Amino acid sequence: MEKQFLEMITMHKATIHKVSRLYRDSPEDREDLFQEIVLQLWQSFSKFEGKSKQSTGIYRIALNTAMACYRKKSIILSFTERLPDKEDSNIDCENREKEEQLFMILKKLNEADRALLALYFEDFDYREMAEITGLSENHIAVKMGRIRSKLKKTLNPSK
């Protein structure tokens, strides 16, 4: 069972890093959240029934952990202009800068909207997003429309 768990974590560590990066600013806070997500995954690993894709379950646990930990205690977040991450060390400077700008914009959204966008960026369809978040597909479609509008206003403030 341990070997299967470690293989799952290795296969999905980029996903866990993305969620950590969306919900924490400093490298230390991201690492703490990463570890907390892994702990929650381990605690629920034996209960995974395989009724949905493994990535669906991982996202559900990762997002719930990130949001629960965020609410649970007052975390002092530090602002940095650059968002270093172990996972993106091979990205060239131009792409890294664009990615950092995107993450800064995404961090301005509320945590529920960030969760939906994280799932959207990972190519989950509305049905899968509904399964992970517990929202209806229609509600997700409406929220995604509103999120797109917010992002358009943020990216093109003159329009």
Distance of alpha carbon 14 from alpha carbon 16, whole angstroms = 5
Residue 47 tokens, joined: 């209960």
Which pLDDT does position 50 carry in this prediction? Answer: 67
Rounded to two decimals, the pTM is 0.60
pLDDT of 62: 92
**Interatomic CA distance for residues 34 and 19, integer angstroms:** 8
Integer Cα distance of 157 and 48 in angstroms: 45
pLDDT digits (tens, 9 = 90+) for 103-148: 888 888 888 898 898 888 888 899 989 988 888 999 999 999 999 8
Average pLDDT, integer, range 86-103: 66
